[in-house]
Amino acid sequence: MGARAVHHRDYAPIPDLLRQMREEAGLTQRELAEKLLRVQQSISTSESGSRRVDVGEFCRWAEACGISPGEALDQYLMRRPKRPKRP
């Protein structure tokens, strides 16, 4: 696996969440790619973190996995690194 792309720390939970949604839906990378009209490689690179997904693709990914985008966002928010409170 190649080196991970450098993203803001808030993005860190996204690749694992994408993979989890796909696996819980019982989909292979190829099956999800077909649903999203993508190639399998784009699914792989998204799940590895070397390709970043935008909010629209995140929503389509969730829907293709049978999850509402709102529920997927809630899952992300629970995983997102907490920011220290400013005094």
Residue 72 lies in a domain: yes
Helix axes 40-48, 14-24, angle to 10 degrees: 130
Residue scoring higher pLDDT (54 or 3) = 54
Residue 85 lies in a domain: no
- Residue whose entry in the numeric block shows the structure tokens 């649903």: 35
What CATH number should be reported for the domain holding residue 14?
1.10.260.40
Domain that holds residue 70: 10-79
Residue 70 lies in a domain: yes
The reported pLDDT for the residue numbered 1 is 42
pTM of the prediction?
Answer: 0.86
Tell me the per-residue pLDDT of 21-78, one tens digit each, with 9 for 90 and over: 999 999 999 999 999 999 999 999 999 999 999 999 999 999 999 999 999 999 999 9
Average pLDDT over every residue of 14-21: 98
Residue 1 lies in a domain: no
Listed range (2-6, 23-27, 82-86) with the worst mean pLDDT: 2-6
Residue 46 lies in a domain: yes
Q: What distance in Å separates the CA atoms of residue 34 and residue 61, rounded to the nearest whole number?
A: 11
Q: Is 30 exposed, middle or buried (CB count within 10 Å of its CB: 0-12, 13-18, 19+)?
A: exposed
CB neighbourhood size of 14 (10 A): 20
